[in-house]
């Protein structure tokens, strides 16, 4: 008999975000304007836990829902009680507000301990189950950090569960496939990536839930070691709306030109980087700038402007260094400060101090944690290396890579060719399989030996588990899923040359720039495909450094039962998605055309490709529902989206809006999709496809 502590979170309903949910002045999302709902993956986690309880079969297993949030987060607890949970705990305290993932995971871990002590009689046969990530933060960090704080095995990205001989067996997503694993001991943390059969509220259960008492704990009740803003290791610098992609809506006359454009779009590196960041210019260290007063490398344009203002005033007063400003001068400066950027004493003092700061806040190299499979380094690692090289050059430090596995030294050369100066190789038989516990222990140890100033991970199923664990273990902040990384100053805080980590949040509806604080090292994960790799340069020189780590069987947390690669699942991460609509008229037509095109593209354009469909095509039975793209299907964001005989209904287009380029073919010159795509051909599919296939096949 096991128990289940389910972490649930209340989030703004991002599906209801409209343009007027943003403050026109600041660009901030006005959360009050959105209804609150339970985070969808947490609802799935609750169903997952209930399913585990039923599989277990023995009576007496409890499901306890736990949330940390404002008092109104009670709603998600009632939601859970109406769907099978037996008890609900609300951890709520003003002091806990404003927490980042660190200062969320920590109090939650203490609350779990208290639940186990007081409500489960100190049992250790329990699971902490949670959604893999939340839609507002998208970080996927909290459960892994909670596992780290409690020293528990973490089964991340679970999609299914079966009864095992001793403990439950989980199916989880790994890069390029899936894996069956079982935790070697309980308690364990499970994060759910996809489990669609969420529970329905019962009528009787809803009425029971309404009167059921919710257990409320304050920070003092659980005594966490990290609390609220103060206990956080990151801080948000600014929030802004993402750049809107303007579609080109260009009518293309010939198939030849169409294919040409398609090839070009595929070749282009992802446009995500920079597009949504402020700055893409290189950084120059203060001591190398013409004047120490030059503060044009601040984190936000507003700060740049106020520093420029201040420097202008100092000049006008003939003051040459910030240290020489006396009280009288300060008064003058404050009096003269513009209405829009009115200064007060404290702000001015901050800025003057900032003008004196010239030394970088962090020391050490820029590191990348390598990911690999079957003796090959992942493309995502090379992309991170490209970025790391760039950052390291402007900071005038070296690029290091940590490479851990059973026998991996052979890959070091390719990393050096890809931009690394130092490769830190960790080899150990127990690192043969990717076990998050053993992996995070070895890598954290090596990071702790050298203390780089920046460590980058790929935001892959592996990276998103070990990065939170490693950062928590080393006491460092972590920002997940960055789409842009820049070195900038934050002079008013006395910080020079810090990493500005920009990432989408709230389901891509806002962008946030985040900085690390109170940490020895700045850590971030970045999405694959965002950064550009450097051309491999075999003549580059670098050093390979062997690192020893001690590992025993006890450091393993999971038994791997079975690994499956490249399952026949739909791969909507593909670089090009070709979708067919109802206009293809029949299943055989759909299959002929799509097979022809996808195989030609895969063969001749050297890229991953997947088939998609409109809902109407699915309803007509052309293809299985898993291929449906759109509001009720999957939202996709490939480099090229090619829509064949799809009209462009709003529910379809919502699901493709993140595509970098949209191509369309339709025989109706007034098809709505032509107003929402980049390039289009007008004509009959049947007539166009043979020519299209031919042109795509031509090398």
Partner 1 sequence: MAKLAGFNKVEVLVVGAGPAGLAAAITIKKRQPEIGVCVIDKAEHAGNHNLSGAVIEPGPLHALLDMALGQWQESERAQDVLGHVVEKDKVLMFLGKKLAFSMMPSIQMARLFRLGFGKMVHKGDYSVSISKLTAWLSDIAKEVGVEVLHGFAAADIIMNGDGSDAIATGVKLVDQGRGHDGKAQANFMEGEVINAEVIILAEGCDGLVTERFVEEAKLTRETAQLYSVGVKEMIAVSDEQYEKFGSNRCVHAMGYPLWTPLRGPGMFGGGIMYTHKKNHITVGMIVGADWKYHDFNPQDALARFKEHSYVKRYIEGGEVVEAGAKMIPEGGYRAVPRDPATNYIGKNNVIIVGDAAGFVDMLRIKGLHNAISSGMTAGMAVAAHFSFPEEIAMRYTRMLEESRVHRDMRAARNFRQTVAKFGNSLGFPLSVAANWLPKFNIEPDYETMTKASYRFKREKAFDKDAFTAAARVEHREEQPGHIKIIDPEICYNICPDNYDCPCIVFCPAGVYERIHDEARPANPSNCLHCKTCQNKCPYDNIRWGVPEGGGGPRYKDM
Ligand X SMILES: Cc1cc2nc3c(=O)[nH]c(=O)nc-3n(C[C@H](O)[C@H](O)[C@H](O)COP(=O)(O)OP(=O)(O)OC[C@H]3O[C@@H](n4cnc5c(N)ncnc54)[C@H](O)[C@@H]3O)c2cc1C
Which residues in 29-48 contact partner 1 (CB under 8 A)? 47
Nearest CB to partner 1, comparing residues 207 and 250: 207
Minimal distance, residue 650 CB to partner 1, in Å: 5
Partner in contact with 406, chosen from ligand X, partner 1, none, beta carbon below 5 to 8 Å by kind: none
Minimal distance, residue 631 CB to ligand X, in Å: 4
Which residues in 188-207 contact partner 1 (CB under 8 A)? 196-207
Q: Which two tokens stand for residue 256?
A: 């030849």
Does 630 sit near ligand X (CB under 6 A)?
yes
Q: Which stretch binds ligand X (CB under 6 A): 97-105, 413-421, 455-463, 615-623?
A: 615-623
Which residues in 580-609 contact ligand X (CB under 6 A)? 581-583
Token pair 């038989």: residue:
429
Partner in contact with 581, chosen from partner 1, ligand X, none, beta carbon below 5 to 8 Å by kind: ligand X
**Strand spans (E) along 376-437:** 376-377, 399-405, 422-427
Cβ 150 vs Cβ 473: under 8 Å: no
Nearest CB to ligand X, comparing residues 9 and 582: 582
Partner in contact with 634, chosen from ligand X, partner 1, none, beta carbon below 5 to 8 Å by kind: none
Partner in contact with 645, chosen from partner 1, ligand X, none, beta carbon below 5 to 8 Å by kind: ligand X
Nearest CB to partner 1, comparing residues 416 and 618: 618
Does 671 sit near ligand X (CB under 6 A)?
yes
Does 649 sit near ligand X (CB under 6 A)?
yes
Handedness of CA 119, 122, 123, 124 (dihedral sign): positive
| 3-state DSSP assignment of residue 331 | helix
Does 647 sit near ligand X (CB under 6 A)?
yes
Could you give the count of Cα atoms lying within 13 Å of 46 in the half-sphere of its Cβ?
A: 30
Q: Which of 13, 33, 40, 51 binds partner 1 (CB under 8 A)?
A: 51
Nearest CB to partner 1, comparing residues 210 and 449: 210
Closest CA to 124 of 66, 179, 183: 183
Partner in contact with 583, chosen from ligand X, partner 1, none, beta carbon below 5 to 8 Å by kind: ligand X
Burial pattern 633-661, b for ≥16 Cβ within 10 A else e, equals bebbbbbbbbbbbbbbbeebbbbbbbbbb
Does 113 sit near partner 1 (CB under 8 A)?
no
Q: Which two tokens stand for residue 9?
A: 């979170």
Q: Which of 292, 329, 616, 635 binds partner 1 (CB under 8 A)?
A: 616
Long-range contacts of 71-78 (CB under 8 A, 24+ apart): 72/10, 72/36, 73/9, 73/10, 74/214, 75/10, 75/36, 75/38, 76/8, 76/9, 76/10, 76/38, 76/39, 76/42, 77/8, 77/214, 78/209, 78/210, 78/212, 78/214
Does 59 sit near partner 1 (CB under 8 A)?
no
CB atoms within 10 A of CB 248: 12
Distance CA 436, CA 428 (A): 14
Q: Which of 23, 27, 632, 694 binds ligand X (CB under 6 A)?
A: 632
Distance CA 576, CA 581 (A): 16
Nearest CB to partner 1, comparing residues 395 and 662: 662
Cβ 303 vs Cβ 278: under 8 Å: no
Closest CA to 330 of 312, 352, 302, 315: 352
Cβ 354 vs Cβ 387: under 8 Å: no
Nearest CB to partner 1, comparing residues 56 and 294: 56
Does 302 sit near partner 1 (CB under 8 A)?
no
Q: Which of 86, 308, 373, 518 binds partner 1 (CB under 8 A)?
A: 86
Partner in contact with 47, chosen from partner 1, ligand X, none, beta carbon below 5 to 8 Å by kind: partner 1
Partner in contact with 201, chosen from ligand X, partner 1, none, beta carbon below 5 to 8 Å by kind: partner 1
Cβ 640 vs Cβ 661: under 8 Å: yes
Burial pattern 571-584, b for ≥16 Cβ within 10 A else e, equals ebebbbbbbbbbbb
Nearest CB to ligand X, comparing residues 56 and 686: 686
Minimal distance, residue 630 CB to ligand X, in Å: 2
Does 611 sit near ligand X (CB under 6 A)?
no
Give me the DSSP letters along 30-91: -GGGS-EEE-HHHHHHHHHHHHHHHHH--TT--EEEEEES-GGGHHHHHHHHTTT-SEEEEE
Q: Which of 615, 641, 643, 676 binds partner 1 (CB under 8 A)?
A: 615
Q: Which stretch binds ligand X (CB under 6 A): 130-138, 326-334, 457-465, 681-689?
A: 681-689
Nearest CB to partner 1, comparing residues 12 and 542: 12
Burial pattern 558-568, b for ≥16 Cβ within 10 A else e, equals bbeeeeeeeee
Does 637 sit near ligand X (CB under 6 A)?
no
Does 406 sit near partner 1 (CB under 8 A)?
no
Closest CA to 361 of 497, 486, 452, 492: 497
Q: CB-based contacts of 161: which residues, under 8 Å, 6+ apart?
A: 48, 51, 52, 55, 168, 169, 170, 171
Minimal distance, residue 399 CB to ligand X, in Å: 43
Identify the DSSP state of 583: G
Does 620 sit near partner 1 (CB under 8 A)?
yes
Identify the DSSP state of 175: T
Partner in contact with 668, chosen from partner 1, ligand X, none, beta carbon below 5 to 8 Å by kind: ligand X
Partner in contact with 200, chosen from partner 1, ligand X, none, beta carbon below 5 to 8 Å by kind: partner 1
Footprint of ligand X (CB under 6 A): 581-583, 614-617, 628-633, 645-647, 649, 651-652, 655, 666-668, 671, 684-686
Which residues of this protein are in contact with partner 1, per CB under 8 A? 47, 51, 86, 196-208, 210, 615-616, 619-621, 625, 632, 649-651
């Amino acid at each position: 008999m096991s128990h289940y502590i389910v972490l649930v979170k209340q989030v703004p309903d991002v599906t209801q975000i409209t343009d007027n949910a943003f403050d026109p002045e600041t660009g901030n999302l006005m959360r009050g304007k959105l209804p609150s709902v339970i985070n969808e993956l947490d609802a799935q986690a609750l169903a997952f836990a209930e399913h585990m309880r039923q599989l277990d079969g023995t009576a007496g297993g409890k499901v306890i829902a736990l949330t940390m949030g404002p008092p109104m987060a009670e709603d998600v607890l009632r939601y859970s009680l109406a769907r099978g949970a037996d008890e609900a705990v609300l951890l709520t305290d003003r002091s806990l507000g404003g927490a980042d993932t660190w200062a969320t995971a920590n109090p939650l871990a203490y609350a779990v301990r208290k639940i186990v002590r007081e409500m489960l009689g100190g049992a250790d046969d329990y699971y902490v189950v949670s959604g893999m990530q939340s839609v507002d933060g998208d970080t996927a960090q909290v459960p892994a950090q909670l596992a780290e704080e409690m020293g528990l095995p973490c089964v991340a990205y679970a999609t299914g569960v079966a009864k095992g001989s001793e403990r439950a067996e989980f199916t989880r997503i790994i890069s390029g496939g899936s894996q069956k694993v079982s935790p070697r001991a309980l308690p364990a943390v499970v994060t759910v990536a996809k489990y669609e059969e969420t529970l329905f509220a019962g009528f009787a259960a809803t009425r029971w839930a309404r009167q059921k008492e919710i257990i409320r704990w304050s920070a003092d009740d659980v005594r966490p070691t990290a609390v609220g803003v103060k206990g956080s290791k990151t801080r948000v610098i600014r929030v802004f709306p993402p750049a809107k992609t303007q579609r080109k809506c260009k009518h293309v006359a010939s198939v030849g030109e169409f294919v040409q454009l398609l090839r070009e779009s595929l070749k282009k590196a992802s446009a995500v980087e920079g597009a949504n960041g402020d700055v893409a210019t290189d950084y120059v260290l203060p001591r190398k700038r013409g004047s120490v007063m030059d503060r044009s490398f601040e984190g936000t344009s507003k700060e740049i402007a106020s520093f420029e203002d201040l420097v202008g005033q100092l000049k006008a007063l003939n003051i040459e260094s910030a240290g020489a400003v006396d009280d009288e001068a300060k008064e003058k400066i404050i009096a003269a400060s513009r209405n829009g950027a009115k200064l007060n004493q404290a702000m001015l003092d901050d800025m003057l101090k900032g003008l004196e700061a010239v030394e970088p806040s962090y020391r050490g190299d820029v590191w990348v944690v390598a990911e690999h499979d079957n003796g090959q380094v992942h493309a995502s690692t090379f992309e991170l290396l490209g970025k790391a090289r760039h950052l390291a050059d402007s900071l005038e430090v070296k690029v290091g890579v940590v490479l851990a596995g059973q026998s991996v030294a052979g890959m070091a050369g390719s990393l050096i060719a890809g931009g690394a100066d130092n490769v830190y190789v960790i080899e150990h038989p127990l690192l043969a399989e990717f076990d998050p516990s053993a992996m995070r222990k070895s890598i954290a140890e090596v990071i702790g030996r050298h203390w780089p100033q920046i460590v980058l991970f790929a935001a892959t199923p592996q990276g998103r588990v070990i990065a939170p664990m490693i950062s928590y273990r080393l006491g460092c902040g972590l920002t997940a899923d960055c789409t842009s990384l820049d070195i900038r100053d934050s002079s008013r805080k006395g910080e020079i040359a810090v990493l500005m980590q920009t990432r989408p949040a709230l389901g891509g509806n806002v962008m946030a720039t985040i900085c690390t604080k109170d940490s020895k090292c700045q850590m971030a994960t970045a999405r694959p495909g965002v950064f550009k790799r450097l051309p491999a340069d075999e003549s580059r020189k670098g050093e390979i450094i062997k690192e020893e780590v001690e590992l025993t069987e006890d450091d393993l947390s999971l038994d791997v039962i079975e690994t499956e690669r490249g399952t026949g699942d739909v791969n909507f991460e593909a670089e090009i998605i070709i979708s067919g609509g109802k206009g293809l008229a029949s299943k055989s037509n759909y299959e002929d055309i799509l097979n022809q095109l996808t195989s030609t593209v895969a063969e001749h354009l050297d890229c991953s490709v997947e088939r998609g469909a409109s809902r109407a095509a699915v309803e007509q039975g052309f293809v299985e529902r898993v291929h449906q793209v759109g509001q009720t299907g999957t939202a996709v964001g490939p480099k090229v989206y090619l829509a064949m005989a799809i009209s462009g209904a709003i529910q379809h287009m919502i699901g493709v809006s993140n595509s970098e380029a949209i191509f369309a073919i339709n025989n109706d010159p007034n098809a709505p999709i032509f107003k929402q795509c980049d390039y289009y051909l007008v004509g009959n599919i049947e007539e166009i496809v043979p020519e299209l296939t031919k042109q795509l096949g031509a090398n």
